[in-house]
Amino acid sequence: MPLFGYERKEVEKRTGHTSQLGGLKQYQLTDGRAAGVRAVDFRTTRGLEFTVLVDRAMDISEARYKGISLCWRSAAGDAAPGFYDPRGAEWLWTFSGGLLTTCGLTQVGPPHEDDGEDLGLHGRVSTIPAEQIGIREEWAGEHLQLEVSGVVREARLFGPGLEMHRTISTRADSAAVSVRDRIVNVGARPAPLMLLYHINTGFPLLDDESQLILPSTEATPRDAEAEDGKEQWAEMHAPVSGYAEKVYFHTVQADSDGVVTCALINRRLEGGIGLRLRYRLSELPFLTQWKMLGEREYVLGIEPGNCKPVGRNAARAAGELFELPVGEELQMGFELDVVEGDAALDELAREATLK
């Protein structure tokens, strides 16, 4: 797509610095529990803005489209990794929500003991600072490419040695963001690998008339709470006081290219806005839905992963625990983009239902 109607050659004649066309900004947070956290802001000409927290596994905190928040943010807010407590459910004290929180890399799910090891909620990777940071803001053909990369190490002596090589990218003329991970076992022994992308949508994209559209052939409730009202898993409503979370494990279909498309659409919001999620089923065979429509805790999680969030012990018992051999690697990731306007949203709905 030409930038403001011009090809690159003409754009360059009209600009003194690429920051006129979008860009990246590196800085450190300075206030409260987030003080010292390194961050990178992305900004595009299409109105997409989001923040990557380098010291929180390069997860994505705030995200906006034309000033409209795309994500939910928890009351905990952003926090430096030093505040993380691995015990039990203490993870929640540093869970800020945001567009992406990565769960893993060796445990996803509730606290429990596995093989003599006490495992906390959702693992520790989201609280590990990235290293070997690379920043790229340069032309690639007709497009100005914006990219941040880094390595997150979850490793210890006599234990797992996993490296997550993460690249987050977009284009200056785009309303999409790509997250690609390459997980490498650099340790001395095979390591369990559990990774789930905790994508947290929130108000105003999430509202009482929003539509969740998944290519789901079966929605399995996690527990009795989710069993109650399971037929309405796709229906959203206004916040409810005292609401208890509902979690569903979906069996989904991919298109002929092996890609799964999911969507959250709000046709009342600014003439109609939708968030599209795409990923490869071969990379992320499990999809979890977190429906939490309580007052002040109003969030819908759409969570692809290579596991269900049931805990390492339960995954092993079900024969679903993946182990990465020494020296081997695994790649996975997803793409999110914003869609607006009735015609485009109709097409998105057809794409997400494989019609």
Above 80 in pLDDT, residue 35?
yes
pLDDT score, position 1: 65
Tokens 């053909």 sit on residue: 141
Residue 50 CA to residue 103 CA, distance in Å, equals 20
Task: Point out which residues pair with 22 in neighbouring strands.
Answer: 20, 44
Pick left, alpha or beta for residue 66 (phi over 0 → left; psi -120 to 50 → alpha; otherwise beta). left
Q: Does residue 272 sit in helix, strand or coil?
A: coil
Residue 348 pLDDT exceeds 70: yes
Phi/psi of residue 230, each to 5°? -65, -25
Q: Quick one: average pLDDT of 116-143?
A: 96
Is the Cβ–Cβ distance between 11 and 19 less than 8 Å? no
Q: Could you give the 3-state DSSP secondary structure of residue 236?
A: coil
pLDDT digits (tens, 9 = 90+) for 242-285: 999 999 999 999 999 999 999 999 999 999 999 999 999 999 99
Q: What angle do CA 317, 233, 59 make, to 5 degrees?
A: 65
Report the CATH number of the 17-352 domain: 2.70.98.10
Q: Are 146 and 19 in contact (CB under 8 A)?
A: no
Helix (H) or strand (E) run with residue 333 in it: strand 329-340
The answer for residues whose C-beta is within 8 angstroms of residue 173's C-beta and 6 or more apart is 1, 2, 3, 21, 22, 44, 45, 46, 143, 144
pLDDT, residue 115, reads: 87
What backbone torsions phi and psi does residue 129 show, to the nearest 5 degrees?
Answer: -65, 145
Give the residue-averaged pLDDT of 322-351: 97
165, 134 contact by CB (below 8 A)? no
Question: Residue 179's pLDDT band (boundaries 50, 70, 90)?
Answer: very high
How much is the average pLDDT of 293-321? 97
- 126 closest CA partner among 200, 176, 188: 200
pTM of the predicted structure, to 2 decimals:
0.97
Phi, psi for 24 (deg, rounded to 5): -125, 145
